[in-house]
């Protein structure tokens, strides 16, 4: 989703802005732009150079290599279209009518129509369809008035103008503003969209997420909602919406600054699929070390109050994270004995269930920035506080891959899945990390509540320790197998994935993976539901991919697969090799493991198959059209 970078300092801004935008590319975007201010040839007033290009960053780079964008201050943006098509005129930065004020914004200004109409009545001509364009016009209008009122300094004038305009905006935003009359002042602000400030000597870089700071600084300060910051080469001042100065120290970004590169792989997605054994290995080393007490078998750092007297669990998430949550809910109910419900975070926000006591609320988001998930958690916290549920804050848990994210700041109890930066838009290793987090939680709760015997707890823990090796073998064996199989499906239009029980969410995840990167229509179904309608879709052109692992529903899934075969569907099985699984036209074999841990393995051939189909269709696997890695708007 949109990415912002903004710089004030003493070096040429545009190369640093481009570098930052490059690091935010993985978030997903469809156009890009930047604006700088240069004062060459004039003493105190500068001029704006604004360059924008549709499509990939390389197009912007080409534009800049011709004409450049001089100046030591600038704002840059990668845009993921919401209001208005991905066209140059809708790309950011947006300027006021006199080209004196430039703004980049990430978020949605919900009342922009009213603001736009008002400005149009005053004679302002809009050049874009965006919600953002109202902002530079409003700032310009406020500046004109403040000038007449004779506010002391120009920097203060810009600050007051932006603050005034922010009070008019409804919705979510992170934004950066520059003005030709203050060529060394950068104003940034945020509300319900992320924005961080990175510090070095005499130079400050603001960005939507911490990846943009790699190679620039590790010292970072996240802005809080409704705060504004005034940055000059001399320092940073942060204010709340009332104009009260805020004092906070920046902190160090944890973790090593790894280079974002694909290594020997053709795509990040394939590299990240291959990184999954390591993700599991590290998870086990951190949370499942040997010799933990049987009453507390997982090394989570949480206080007893997180688990005590919990009667049910509610989980809020979107997309792939929701699928991980569904496996989690299955484990929490069936293994640990706790009623568990998964909600689409976007639905929960506007239709939550009636409040019930003693609920553990879990928010799952790999990016830690998904607007719907953060807002749903916030809403839940607010409605529980009105009921004086003092335990809510200790009974809320976040699962994320980004420990420096908004989620990690919003929620005290965090499971950091520690999968390392995931660049491919399609989640793979973070999905595995989220699954593992739920295994940990389910085992911990089952042990504490004595819902499972010591033997059962030990068995699942021991089996989990074998997962990295299983994953290694699976990935090595299936990469070639799925690559070969993928050729057959390059021109397929529809695919059906079937699963049951703990593997039903894996069928959903497989369908999501395939559609998002290959643009092939795919549906994931609980295998037993097929005969209630979707079976009408089947013929020889629709492959059916069925997940059948040993356990309570093994035979049932095979019967459902037979029903598809009888309709001439090409049948692919994700199943252990056995006499029964010979019914499949193609088998992607998985080892015989307990049904409990099977989702950690069944997902692998499905990720690889989607990957190879998309790659063979020649698509942009890592940045599929229309998608964003960090969905920071509602």
Query: What distance in Å separates the CA atoms of residue 1 and residue 631, rounded to the nearest whole number?
Result: 6
What's the token pair of residue 225?
A: 């909602």
With beta carbons less than 8 A apart as the criterion, state whether 250 and 219 touch: yes
Of 71 and 624, CB closest to ligand F6R: 624
Closest approach, Cβ 373 to ligand F6R, in A, equals: 5
23 versus 116: smaller Cβ distance to ligand F6R: 23
Task: State the nearest-atom distance from the C-beta of 618 to ligand F6R, in Å.
Answer: 20
Given the rule CB under 6 A, which of 169-177, 250-258, 304-312, 315-323 is the region that contacts ligand F6R?
315-323
**Shorter beta-carbon distance to ligand F6R: residue 321 or 503:** 321
461 an active-site residue?
A: no
DSSP secondary-structure letter at 310? -
- Which candidate in 2, 318, 461, 570 is catalytic? 2
Window of 163-171, 366-374, 495-503, 531-539 that interacts with ligand F6R by CB under 6 A: 366-374
Give the CA distances from residue 406 to residues 167, 213, 221, 586, in Å, rounded to whole numbers and listed in that order.
22, 17, 12, 44
498 binds ligand F6R (CB under 6 A): no
Hey, what are 237's tokens? 């001042």
Q: How far is the CB of 567 from ligand F6R (least distance, A)?
A: 30
What is the SS3 assignment for 107? strand
Provide, rounded to whole angstroms, the least separation between the CB of residue 543 and ligand F6R: 21
Residue of this chain nearest to ligand F6R (CB atom) = 319
507 binds ligand F6R (CB under 6 A): no
Distance CA 223, CA 214 (A): 19
Distance CA 176, CA 74 (A): 9
Nearer to ligand F6R, 154 or 322 (CB): 322
Which contiguous run of DSSP H or E holds residue 76?
Answer: strand 73-79
Measured distance CA(63)–CA(68) in Å, rounded: 8
| Separation between Cα atoms, residue 537 and residue 464, nearest integer Å | 38
- The separation between CA 108 and the C-alpha centre of its own chain, rounded to angstroms, equals 17
Per-residue 3-state assignment (H helix, E strand, C coil) for 313-349: EEEEECHHHHHHHHHHHHHHHHHCCCCEEEEEHHHHC
Are 220 and 251 in contact by the 8 Å Cβ rule? The answer is: yes
Sheet holding 359-364: strands in order across?
340-344, 312-317, 359-364, 396-400, 413-416
Query: How distant, in Å, are the alpha carbons of 105, 107, 610 from that of 29?
Result: 13, 13, 22
* Spatial distance between the Cα atoms of 611 and 517, rounded to a whole number of angstroms: 7
Fill in the per-residue mask, 594 to 633: x = in contact with ligand F6R (CB under 6 A), - = not in contact. -------------------------------------x--
Please provide the DSSP assignment of 198-223 as one string: EEETTEEEEESSGGGGTTT-SEEEEP
The HSE-up count of residue 123 (CA atoms within 13 Å, CB side) is 2
User: Considering beta carbons, is residue 367 or 549 the nearer one to ligand F6R?
Assistant: 367
Contacts of 289 (CB under 8 A, 6+ apart): 299
Smaller CB separation from ligand F6R, 155 or 424: 424
Residues 574, 590 contacting (CB under 8 angstroms): yes
Choosing from 23, 218, 513, 629, which is the catalytic residue? 629
Per-residue interface string for the shown chain with ligand F6R, residues 77-96, x marking contact by CB under 6 A: --------------------
Give the shortest CB-220-to-ligand F6R separation in angstroms.
20
The only residue of 100, 180, 208, 373 in contact with ligand F6R, by rule CB under 6 A: 373
Residue 321 sits in the site that holds ligand F6R (CB under 6 A): yes
Separation CA 103–CA 90 (nearest Å): 12
Out of 30, 184, 209, 516, name the contact with ligand F6R by CB under 6 A: 516
Closer to ligand F6R by Cβ: residue 135 or 426: 426
Quick one: angle between helices 599-616 and 429-448, nearest 10?
170
- Does residue number 365 form part of the binding site for ligand F6R (CB under 6 A)? yes
Q: Assess 367 for contact with ligand F6R (CB under 6 A).
A: yes
Among 427, 457, 545, 570, binds ligand F6R (CB under 6 A): 427
Of 198 and 319, which CB lies nearer to ligand F6R in the complex structure? 319
Selected from 320, 482, 492, 518, the binder of ligand F6R by CB under 6 A is 320
Residue 318 binding ligand F6R, by CB under 6 A: yes
Q: Site for ligand F6R (CB under 6 A): which residue of 9, 222, 319, 468?
A: 319
Establish whether 318 is a catalytic residue.
no
- CA atoms of 278 and 113, how far apart (whole Å): 49
Residue span binding ligand F6R (CB under 6 A) among the ranges 80-88, 349-357, 360-368, 524-532 = 360-368
Length of the chain: 634
Identity of the residue, 203 or 369, whose beta carbon is nearer to ligand F6R in the bound complex: 369
Closest distance to ligand F6R from the beta carbon of 363 (Å)? 9
Q: State yes or no: residue 139 binds ligand F6R (CB under 6 A).
A: no
Q: Which one of residues 6, 253, 426, 538 is an interface residue with ligand F6R (CB under 6 A)?
A: 426
Which stretch in 73-81, 130-138, 363-371, 447-455 sits in contact with ligand F6R by CB under 6 A? 363-371
* Comparison of 33 and 368: residue with beta carbon closer to ligand F6R: 368
| Residue 502 structure tokens | 């703990």
Number of residues this chain uses to bind ligand F6R (CB under 6 A): 14
Which residues bind to ligand F6R, rule: CB under 6 A? 318-321, 365-367, 370, 373, 426-427, 512, 516, 631
Which residues are marked as active site?
A: 2, 629
């Amino acid at each position: 989703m949109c990415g912002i970078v903004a710089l004030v300092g003493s070096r040429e801004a545009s190369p640093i802005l481009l570098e930052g935008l490059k690091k935010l590319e993985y978030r997903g975007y469809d156009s890009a732009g930047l604006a700088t201010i240069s004062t060459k040839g004039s003493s105190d007033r500068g001029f704006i150079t604004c360059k924008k290009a549709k499509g990939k960053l390389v197009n912007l780079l080409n534009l800049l290599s011709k004409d450049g964008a001089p100046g030591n201050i600038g704002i840059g943006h990668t845009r993921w279209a919401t209001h208005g098509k991905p066209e140059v005129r809708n790309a950011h930065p947006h300027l006021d009518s006199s080209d004196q004020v430039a703004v980049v914004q990430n978020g949605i200004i919900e009342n922009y129509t009213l603001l736009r109409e008002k400005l149009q009545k005053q004679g302002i001509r809009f050049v874009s369809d965006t919600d953002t364009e109202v902002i530079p016009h409003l700032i310009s209008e406020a500046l004109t008035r403040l000038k007449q009122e004779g506010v002391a300094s120009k920097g203060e004038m810009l600050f007051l103008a932006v603050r005034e305009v922010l009070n008019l905006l409804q919705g979510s935003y992170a934004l950066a503003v520059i003005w030709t009359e203050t060529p060394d002042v950068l104003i940034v602000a945020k509300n319900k969209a992320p924005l961080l400030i990175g510090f070095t000597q005499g130079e400050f870089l603001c960005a939507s997420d911490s990846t943009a700071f790699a190679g620039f600084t590790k010292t970072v300060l996240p802005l809080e909602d409704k705060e504004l910051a005034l940055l000059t080469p001399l320092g940073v001042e942060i204010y709340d919406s009332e104009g009260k100065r805020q004092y906070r120290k920046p902190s160090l970004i944890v973790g090593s600054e790894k280079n974002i590169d694909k290594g020997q792989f053709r795509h990040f997605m394939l590299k990240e699929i291959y990184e999954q054994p390591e993700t599991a290995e590290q998870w086990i080393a951190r949370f499942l070390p040997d010799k933990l007490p049987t009453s507390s078998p997982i090394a989570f750092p949480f206080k007893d109050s997180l688990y005590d007297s919990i009667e049910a669990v509610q989980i809020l998430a979107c997309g792939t994270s929701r699928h991980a949550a569904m496996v989690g809910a299955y484990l929490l109910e069936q293994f640990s004995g706790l009623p568990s419900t998964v909600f689409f975070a976007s639905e929960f926000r506007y239709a939550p269930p009636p409040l019930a006591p003693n609920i553990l609320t879990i928010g799952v988001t790999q990016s830690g920035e998904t607007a719907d998930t953060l807002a749903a958690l916030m809403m839940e916290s607010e409605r529980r506080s009105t009921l004086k549920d003092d335990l809510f804050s200790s009974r809320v848990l976040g699962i994320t891959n980004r420990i420096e994210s908004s989620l990690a700041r919003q929620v005290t109890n965090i499971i950091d899945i520690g999968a390392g930066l995931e660049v491919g838009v399609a989640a793979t290793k973070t999905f595995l990390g989220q699954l593992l987090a739920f295994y940990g939680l389910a085992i911990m709760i089952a042990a504490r509540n004595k819902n499972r015997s010591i033997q059962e707890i030990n068995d699942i823990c021991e089996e989990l320790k074998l997962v990295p090796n299983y994953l290694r073998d699976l990935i090595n064996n299936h990469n070639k197998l799925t690559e070969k199989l993928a050729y057959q499906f390059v021109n397929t239009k529809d695919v059906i994935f079937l699963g049951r029980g703990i593997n039903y969410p894996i069928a959903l995840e497989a369908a999501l993976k395939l559609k998002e990167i290959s643009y092939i229509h795919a549906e994931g179904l609980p295998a037993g539901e097929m005969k209630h309608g979707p079976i009408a879709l089947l013929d020889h052109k629709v492959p059916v991919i069925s997940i059948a692992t040993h356990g309570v529903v093994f035979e049932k899934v095979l019967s459902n697969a037979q029903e598809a075969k009888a309709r001439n569907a090409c049948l692919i099985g994700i199943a252990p090799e056995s006499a029964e699984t010979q019914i499949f036209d193609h088998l992607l074999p998985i080892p015989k493991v307990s049904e409990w841990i099977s989702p950690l393995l069944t997902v692998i051939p499905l990720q690889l198959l989607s990957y190879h189909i998309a790659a063979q269709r020649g698509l942009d696997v890592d940045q599929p059209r229309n998608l964003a890695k960090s969905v920071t708007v509602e």
